[in-house]
Amino acid sequence: MAMLQPTIELLRKVPVLGGLSNGELQRILDAPENMAISFAPQEVIFAEGDAADCMYIVLDGAVDVRIRSVGDREITIANIKPGEYFGEQALMPGSSGRRNASVRALTRCAAFRINGSRVAAGMAKIERTRANAMDPSQSVLEQVRGVVRACRLFRSLSAQDLDRVSEWTTIEEYEEGDIILREEEPGVALYLVLGGSVEAFAIDGDGKLVVLGRLSKGQYFGEQALLADGSGTHNVSVRAETNVTLVKIGKRYFVSVVNHDEKLLQALKAVGEAQRKKKIDAVGQDHRW
């Protein structure tokens, strides 16, 4: 297969850049600080904890994403192939600005490096135009199918499963400020953001609200309370940051997906451990999300 080339069409597939005009995307392609870079097999592209100053789109070969787990052991949580992207999370508003995972080349590969300032400009435009809102040109069912298909949790689903998505999902809407999940409530479902944004928060020892993270279209929450060896309850609360539309996936269906993917299960546990550490650092409480 021929190596992908950086094009306007390729950039537009990246959600944080998709709201930009053709002219703005062309300027990203033309900017001298943005370029295709080659990596040798097993070469580390960036390490967990590094300061983030760019993102990448894979043009050729493959990379894997690794996260540090209990006992300082690294496990792979995703493989990223041509046309897919990585590194944008640490550039998001409200993030720490540091990498939350390590990425290395699985094979000899090439990736298009995009400077963080260009990504930030794209994110700012999306925020201004509310690009994460529902798309009126598509039916709700089409949008649900699209956001589920794009979620890494559900990459193993068959086309038949996706065709029946209305049978195992429901839509819920909340107004800005509404509480969606409460700390210590039992976990009953996974939620995918279809439009708008939410924020996870906890209360510190002084009774102050501490925001732990913000999630927008395509991101998910609530999964940690559904895992078999967890507490079964939420240890943070989640509220609507804006008016928000969510795809709700019941515990039984989510568990059936996880139980057929041991690698995914281990990755979710590692993510839960990282979230637990983040909460301890923020509010001094030893609980998982």
Contact yes or no for 201/285 (Cβ under 8 A): no
Sequence ranges of the domains in the chain: 8-129, 140-283
Could you tell me the fold of the domain covering 140-283? Jelly Rolls (2.60.120)
pLDDT at 283 over 80: no
Domains 8-129 and 140-283 share a fold: yes
- Residue range 8-129, CATH number: 2.60.120.10
Full-model pTM: 0.53
Q: Convert the pLDDT of each residue in 147-199 to its tens digit.
A: 888 887 887 778 888 888 999 999 999 988 899 999 889 999 999 999 999 99
Number of C-beta neighbours around residue 144 at 10 A: 21
Q: Convert the pLDDT of each residue in 260-281 to its tens digit.
A: 666 676 767 666 666 666 665 6
